[in-house]
């Protein structure tokens, strides 16, 4: 495979765009880039209630993991993971809404403690907009 790629690059040395044109094109692409906001649930006719919630075990894909003393514990394989919640939080943002309240995310992750949820959000460097129960967090969508 590597030889094939090397052969292609050696045999195809003709440049179709100048460096100046490449820079212009890249600036144009960046300028016109727009974030796509697709309602995935609506597009695929999935009800919010039909989504399996919780933190997925990265070791065995069991759902949900249980939060214990600053880590997640898989009840199926006993795997412990401190960051297993991150994927679930991004899943929430992509599937449901990137704007979320502490309580909504706690329900999605099957987490009882609002303090634990607050600490998780702060550890992800997500700052609240508003105060107390009205506070919302904006989850940045992965690129």
d(CA 88, CA 97): 12
Which 3 state secondary structure label does DSSP give 81? Answer: strand
CATH classification of the domain holding 43: 1.10.10
Q: Is the pLDDT of residue 16 over 90?
A: no
How many domains is the chain built from? 1
Closest by Cα among 33, 61, 44, 41 to 143: 33
Q: What is the pLDDT of residue 131?
A: 83
Range of the domain at 117: 36-138
Q: Is residue 121 part of a domain?
A: yes
pLDDT above 90: percentage of residues in the chain: 63
Q: Is residue 31 part of a domain?
A: no
Q: Please count the other Cβ atoms lying within 10 Å of the Cβ belonging to residue 79.
A: 17
Summarised one tens digit per residue, pLDDT across range 115-143 is: 999 999 999 999 889 887 889 999 987 66
Q: Is residue 65 part of a domain?
A: yes
Contact in structure between 133 and 141 (CB atoms under 8 Å): no
d(CA 14, CA 10): 10
Q: Is residue 13 part of a domain?
A: no
Q: What is the pLDDT of residue 1?
A: 53
Q: Is residue 53 part of a domain?
A: yes
């Amino acid at each position: 495979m590597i030889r094939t790629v090397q052969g292609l690059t050696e045999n195809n040395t003709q440049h179709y765009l100048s460096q100046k044109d490449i820079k212009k094109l890249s600036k144009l692409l960046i300028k016109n880039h727009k974030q796509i906001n697709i309602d995935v649930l609506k597009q695929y006719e999935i009800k919010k209630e039909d989504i399996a919630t919780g933190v997925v075990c990265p070791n065995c894909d069991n759902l949900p993991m249980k939060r214990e003393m600053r880590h997640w514990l898989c009840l199926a394989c006993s795997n412990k993971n401190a960051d297993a919640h991150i994927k679930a939080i991004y899943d929430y943002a992509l599937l449901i809404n990137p704007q979320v309240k502490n309580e909504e995310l706690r329900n999605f992750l099957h987490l009882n403690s609002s303090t634990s949820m607050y600490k998780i959000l702060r550890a992800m460097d997500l700052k609240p907009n508003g105060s107390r129960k009205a506070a919302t967090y904006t989850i940045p969508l992965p690129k």
